[in-house]
Amino acid sequence: MLNLYRKLVHLYPAEYREVFGEEMLAVLAQENENSARGKLIDRGRLFFREIRGLAGGAVREHLRIAFRIQNELSFATGRFTMRNGFRFPKTTIVFMLLILGGVLTAIKRGEDIASSVPNANPPLTVHVQSVHSILLGGMPLFFALFYAAGLIGWAILFALRRSGVHRLAGMSTEQK
């Protein structure tokens, strides 16, 4: 099985093999040892699962190179992938939505409590004048312009393929 696996690893692009080839072989050798004492059907499942994974991974890597898909989140492939330099757990989005739901629920409950006791506090007898700040009016505009300038700069660098991601992607393994 390991000899066939070594031959199938050569389906991957050379640069990918240099970075991940030994690790892939080591993982399969460990899985092969763990399943050696198992049933024949379990070993067959492992064999076909690994062969299918190898062939599919090699095709994906060649497509990634052919279409110049970089190591970031790719909407061209329609999925999140874990690669070197990209570590964004899928569960982060779920946790952020749960936190947002909790905050909205807390706000709603606070409004319900406030509306159920309308005259609990005595009215203020001191007249409070509102103060308008010049700073607060200009800050959102400043941040919006700053964000737009950064976005334009990033778009120019991305179009010229001069950002750090592109430079690192073009480097060989020895240079990294």
Backbone φ and ψ for 158, nearest 5 degrees, come out as: -65, -40
pLDDT at 95: 87
Alpha helices (H) along 11-81: 14-35, 40-66
* Residue with token string 């700069």: 153
The answer to whether residue 39 sits within a structural domain is yes
pLDDT at 74: 44
The total number of structural domains in the chain stands at 2
The answer to whether residue 78 sits within a structural domain is no
The answer to whether residue 123 sits within a structural domain is no
The answer to whether residue 30 sits within a structural domain is yes
pLDDT at 99: 93
Task: List the chain residues with pLDDT less than 70.
Answer: 69-89, 118-137, 161-176
Q: Which domain holds residue 56?
A: 2-66
